[in-house]
Amino acid sequence: MNPSRQNRKLAELRAKTDRELVNYLSAQLDRAIALAEAGESLGEAEKIYAEVRRLFPFATSANECQWRTFLSRVNRLRHLLDQYSLTSVA
């Protein structure tokens, strides 16, 4: 396989992996938001929050719109989790 073809294949593989990572993180966020909205498994929702925050910067194929949407959803999840932690303290 010539080098340019090999580079193209590697780029295609990286793009596919990035798309899969974005899809995985989106599904995890959906799950964590649902848990937080229901007030269930908040520890699990916290773990998902941390994982998503840690991994999303590696999803280099995410466009600006995806970044904004992602950050909005992450902030929503953080707000929900903070509401429960404040309620449990009071």
Contact between residue 25 and residue 52 where contact means Cβ atoms under 8 Å apart? yes
Q: Structural domain boundaries of the chain? A: 3-89
Residue range 9-66, pLDDT digits in tens = 998 888 898 889 989 999 999 999 999 999 989 999 999 999 999 998 888 777 889 8
Section 71-79 average pLDDT:
95
> String of b and e for 80-90 (b: at least 16 CB within 10 Å)?
bbeeeeeeeee
Amino acid in the structure at residue 33: I
Q: What is the pLDDT of residue 40?
A: 87
* CATH 3.30.70 correct for 3-89: no
CA distances from 35 to 9, 44, 72, 77, 80 (A): 39, 8, 17, 10, 10
To the question of pTM greater than 0.85 for the whole model, the response is no
